[in-house]
């Protein structure tokens, strides 16, 4: 079991790396660094040496071979391949242990679908809908892995709990359990905002507005909601974007409006949770989310003021993934505590799911 948790931990780190590398690949315009899939100019390595570049150029005379972009793209594919293997190992491990099979199966199916999306990203020449789905798929992988990690942790605590049974009804966070519905609304708002951010990036709309708070003067007259949801289709290639200025500007502005809504709704939820959470574990999660939310808004503002610096844009992507991951873990904790509270109320002698609460730092109480 210990080896299985180590495997899940390493896979979580690997997923973060793949997400960051994916963003780096997209933001360095290296998505088409290799025009074929799964190889690169017909080989399983990027053409970096002179004779490889010459051979690739001879094979694809209508394209300009860029070894820097090809290297970025292949690095992303290698690490993603490693992630695929790690998830396959989690899948087989879960069947061997006869635990977490549902989550592990979901992970395996998702990573296979991600590989297909990666292929379509190249073969459909960066079709924004596919690139966006690929980005969201990466976030979904991270979230499923985090839920698996949290599930393992809770079950480990369950073993300890059977040895040291205690009953502290405070630790079930009764005041928090009423906020699950609110939490789901925040989750929807965050997913919508992440989708809008991905739509901004995949349609090359990042640099169309350089003024704060929304865009250059007169944007209101040219803003169109229908243009935001208009799917660009039927083009030979989507590299550097195909949408007209009005559409890009509307997408960009909507992402900024979305940022204000996210800040307000998420912020309200965090304040609400902070006031009600009693245990250190949940309070720490609230603080972590609050910090990440503020950092995310600051990174967004730096994107505007400094015209999308590469590492800042990669960080903006990563922090969004971490925010989503933490919110999901928090909501799952709320759900578990609610279930346990109900069990305590209906049958105080039989409590099955343990919930971990550090009432004081360093002293963990399990009920």
- For residues 265 and 162, is the Cβ–Cβ distance under 8 A? no
Among 121, 300, 334, 367, binds ligand HEM (CB under 6 A): 300
**Using CB under 6 A as the criterion, what x/- string covers residues 328-367 for binding ligand HEM?**
----------------------------------------
Residue length of the chain: 367
Our CB check for ligand HEM shows the closer of 40 and 321 to be 321
Among 40, 142, 145, 313, binds ligand HEM (CB under 6 A): 313
- For residues 196 and 254, is the Cβ–Cβ distance under 8 A? yes
Among residues 73, 173, 216, 221, the one annotated as catalytic is 73
Stretch in the footprint of ligand HEM (CB under 6 A) among 238-246, 279-287, 314-322, 347-355: 314-322
Q: By CB under 6 A, is residue 303 in contact with ligand HEM? A: yes
Among 194, 242, 282, 326, binds ligand HEM (CB under 6 A): 194
Nearest approach, Cβ of 325 to ligand HEM (angstroms)? 12
Q: By CB under 6 A, is residue 25 in contact with ligand HEM? A: no
Q: By CB under 6 A, is residue 248 in contact with ligand HEM? A: no
- Encoded tokens for 222: 């040219």
* Residue (of 199, 175, 74) closest to 127 by Cα position: 199
- For residues 352 and 155, is the Cβ–Cβ distance under 8 A? no
Our CB check for ligand HEM shows the closer of 251 and 282 to be 251
Eight-state DSSP code of residue 139:
H
| Phi-psi domain of 107 (left: phi exceeds 0; alpha: psi -120 through 50; beta: other) | alpha
* Residue (of 18, 11, 107) closest to 318 by Cα position: 18
Q: Is 216 a catalytic residue?
A: no
Stretch in the footprint of ligand HEM (CB under 6 A) among 177-185, 242-250, 297-305, 349-357: 297-305
- For residues 173 and 334, is the Cβ–Cβ distance under 8 A? yes
Q: What is the largest CA-CA distance in the chain?
A: 76
* Beta bridge partner(s), residue 357: 365
CA dist 111 and 288 (Å) reads 28
Our CB check for ligand HEM shows the closer of 154 and 199 to be 199
* Beta bridge partner(s), residue 43: 40
Chain positions contacting ligand HEM, by CB under 6 A: 23, 26-27, 135, 193-194, 197-198, 200-201, 206, 255-256, 259, 262-263, 296-297, 300-301, 303-304, 308, 313, 316-317, 320
Catalytic residues: 73
């Amino acid at each position: 079991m210990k080896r299985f948790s180590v495997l899940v931990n390493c896979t979580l780190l690997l997923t973060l790396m793949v997400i960051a590398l994916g963003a780096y690949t997209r933001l360095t315009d290296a998505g088409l660094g290799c025009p074929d899939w799964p190889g690169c100019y017909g080989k399983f390595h990027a053409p970096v040496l002179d004779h490889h570049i010459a051979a690739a150029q001879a094979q694809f005379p209508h394209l300009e071979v860029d070894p820097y972009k090809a290297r970025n793209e292949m690095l992303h594919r290698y690490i993603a391949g490693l992630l695929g293997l790690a998830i396959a190992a989690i899948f087989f491990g879960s069947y061997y242990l006869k635990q977490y099979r549902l989550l592990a199966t979901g992970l395996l199916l998702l990573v296979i679908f991600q590989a297909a999306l990666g292929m379509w990203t190249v073969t459909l020449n960066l079709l924004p809908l596919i690139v966006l789905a690929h980005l969201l798929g990466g976030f979904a992988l991270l979230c499923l892995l985090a839920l698996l990690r949290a599930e393992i942790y809770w079950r480990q605590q369950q073993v300890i709990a059977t040895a040291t049974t205690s009953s502290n009804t405070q630790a079930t966070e009764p005041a928090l359990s009423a906020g699950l519905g609110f939490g789901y609304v925040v989750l929807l708002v965050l997913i919508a905002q992440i989708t809008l951010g991905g739509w901004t990036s995949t349609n090359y709309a990042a640099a169309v507005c350089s003024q704060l708070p929304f865009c250059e003067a007169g944007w209101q007259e040219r803003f169109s909601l229908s243009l935001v949801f208009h799917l660009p289709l039927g083009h030979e290639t989507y590299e550097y974007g195909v949408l007209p200025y009005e559409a890009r500007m509307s997408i960009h502005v909507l992402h900024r409006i979305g940022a204000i809504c996210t800040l307000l709704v998420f912020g309200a939820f965090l304040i609400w949770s902070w006031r009600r959470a009693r245990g250190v574990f949940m309070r720490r999660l609230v603080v972590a989310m609050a910090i990440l939310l503020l950092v995310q808004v600051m990174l967004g503002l730096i994107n505007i003021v400094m015209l999308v610096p590469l590492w800042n844009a990669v960080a903006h992507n990563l922090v969004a993934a971490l925010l989503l991951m933490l919110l999901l873990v928090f909501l799952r904790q709320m759900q578990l505590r609610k279930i346990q509270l109900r069990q305590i109320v209906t049958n105080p002698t039989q409590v099955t799911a343990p919930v971990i609460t550090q009432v004081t730092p360093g002293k963990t109480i399990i009920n």
